[in-house]
Chain A
Amino acid sequence: MSASSPAVALPSAPWLKALKRLNAVDIVLWALRIAVLLVIVAGTIGCVVKGRYTAAQWVDFVVFGLTIGSIYAQIALGYTMVYGVLRLINFAHGDFVMTGAFAGYFIAVPLDQSGFLQRQPVLAMAAILVVAIATSTSVALLTERIAYRPFRRVTGLAPLICAIGVSFFLQQTFRGMFGSAVKSYPEPQWQRAAFNVFGFNVPRIDVILIALALLFMLALYLIVHRTRMGTAMRAVAEDAEAAALMGIDVNKVIVFTFILGGAMAGIAGVFYAFLYKQVYFFMGFTPGIKAFGAAVLGGIGSIPGAMLGGFFLGLVESVGPALFLDGIGITAPYQLRDLIAFTLLIMVLIFRPHGLLGERLSKKRA
């Protein structure tokens, strides 16, 4: 029912009424908005005036932003799909990414040492990806079965806390098995070369990762929108009970969702590791939380939103330090790229909790 009350004739002007309704929280929120806006504007102006960066550097920032953004987008898809069907924030999703990266590492190193990775890049990458996908999908399925299914009908914070527990469990298990040292990922020669695009040098690895990420996301999109199980997944996301009445086994759909999310996490793990050339047990945390932010930014539950949010976040954190922070005189702005990412996440949660394309992040629907 409509909550609007009949208009009561007040003598004051509308803007005065609005002013009266303003409370302390509103003022703080507005101050926050203005402060962020000022930093962005002042930084951008400062940056333009100083002109410290060459066009080639800007191209670097944008390309790197798109690369890391494509990885965030793939991870964000896992968050958004699981949230869609379960209304659960799968806090362990970032660690699924880590398990994929580790599995890929253990196959990439021997392939690199034997020279196969250099000689047969396509076959070698396919093998690495298959192993990574198999691993993180298995971990995702085990997590669903053991940790999440018992909480299926539980409302409140318990499922979320359980998910955080799974996250720690996976991190510490991998630390126990493989130590806490950072292991360096192989870097075959063909990844190091650069393409020449309109006179700018673009790292080949970036182009490969973006292209593959787009390909995998297109495949995912087609699965979700063109197949019977994908349609069932969207039906369950909307109304699980009505879906069950149509003969859809909701458990199977949830398993299917974790398979898709796990596969994307495995791929993203390998890509992330090839981009940063390293793996370690805690590596899933930061991209995980950022991708969650990207999913919220795009509107959690929305698949196009997750992709959009991922690319947007990647671009902002890559271009942002040079564009906003350097201009206001902050030295070494790159160390603050995570600050930019998390500021963006917090701003989204405060000002636009339903994101760009999606529904409100809130309590489970009845």
Chain B
Amino acid sequence: MALLEIDDIHVFYDNIQALKGISLDVEANRIVTLVGGNGAGKSTTLRAISGLLHPRQGAIRYDGRPLAGLGAHDIAAMGLVHVPEGRRIFGRLTVDENLLMGAFTRRDRKAIAEDKERMMTLFPRLRERLRQVAGTLSGGEQQMVATARAMMARPRLLLMDEPSMGLAPMVVEQVFETIQAINAQGVTILLVEQNALMALTIADQGYVLESGEIVLSGPGRDLIDDERVRQAYLG
């Protein structure tokens, strides 16, 4: 059984149908990526998984449990954590407070302090900026805060929506390395990217989304070699 199973979900914004029956599986400990052009429905898929949107039809199961009817905060508390598009860190809170909010559902103060220490080892730049208001950080640093904040929840499954957006090529490289490092620690990753080549390179499994439907899927390597993917997304 896969950690996350999505079974034929249909999602609407009022009367506009954004997802037209999507099914996909995320196996535990893997990196799975969802690629596709603007408006394909990638973010919508993640928002449906994390409970920000509710499918009109179809089912989502996490660790065997159906998620229907649960609020976003309930789902986050189950270890399914979503780093939304645009990072959405709390810009008026300090970096430290952002990390604290990531651990909101946890009570074990000691373990939280240890995890914070781990995050500052993973992102040494955050250590110097702990008391700084997060909105004043650079884009790359804000991405670090967003990732560290999500990791403070001790996720089992991390949904990441375009973590490389708006970052310089060097920094993008680091972001992908971080994702692999997190995955190596046993966190399953569902990654949405416009940067299809890099995403497919690190992914075990890939899905290609086009206007609300999955048009292709397979191991990341195979998709990179696929003629249709090459033409549409890799240039």
Contact = CB atoms under 8 A, between A and B. Distances in A.
A, B co-complexed: yes
Contacts of A248: 73, 101, 104
Contacts of A246: 73, 76, 81, 101-102, 104-105, 149-150, 153
Contacts of A239: 88, 90
Given A246-B101, A246-B153, A248-B101, A238 B73 contact: no
Contacts, number: 69
Query: Contact size class for B?
Result: 20 to 34
B184 to A, nearest CB: 24
Given A234-B93, A247-B76, A248-B101, A242 B84 contact: yes
A243 B89 CA distance: 9
A130 interface: no
Nearest to A234: B93
Interface string A230-250: 011011001101111111111
A122 B90 CA distance: 42
A228 to B, nearest CB: 7
Contact of B73 (A228, A231, A234, A244): A244
Q: Which secondary structure dominates where chain A touches chain B?
A: helix
B88 A231 contact: no
Contact of A245 (B52, B92, B93): B52
A247 B50 contact: no
Interface in B47-74: 50-52, 71-73
B3 interface: no
B101 A250 contact: no
Contacts of B153: 246-247
A258 B89 CA distance: 25
A245 B72 contact: yes
Contacts of B91: 238
B101 A231 contact: yes
Contact of B71 (A228, A232, A238, A249): A249
B97 interface: yes
A244 B90 CA distance: 12
A250 B51 CA distance: 13
A238 B97 CA distance: 13
Contacts of B77: 247
B82 interface: yes
B100 interface: yes
A144 to B, nearest CB: 18
Contacts of B84: 241-242, 245
B44 to A, nearest CB: 14
Contacts of B149: 246
Q: Which of A238, A239, A246, A247 has the most CB of B within 10 A?
A: A246
Nearest to A248: B104
Nearest to A241: B52
Nearest to B76: A247
Contact of A234 (B50, B89, B90, B104): B90
Nearest to B92: A238
A143 B100 CA distance: 31
B73 A249 contact: yes
Interface of B: 50-52, 71-73, 76-77, 81-84, 88-93, 97, 100-102, 104-105, 149-150, 153
6 contacts: A228-B100, A231-B100, A234-B97, A245-B81, A246-B153, A247-B105
Interface of A: 228, 231-232, 234-235, 238-239, 241-250
Given A231-B97, A231-B100, A245-B83, 8 more contacts: A228-B104, A239-B88, A245-B76, A246-B81, A246-B101, A246-B102, A246-B105, A246-B153
The 5 closest A-B pairs by CB, nearest first: A247-B105, A247-B76, A242-B88, A244-B72, A249-B73
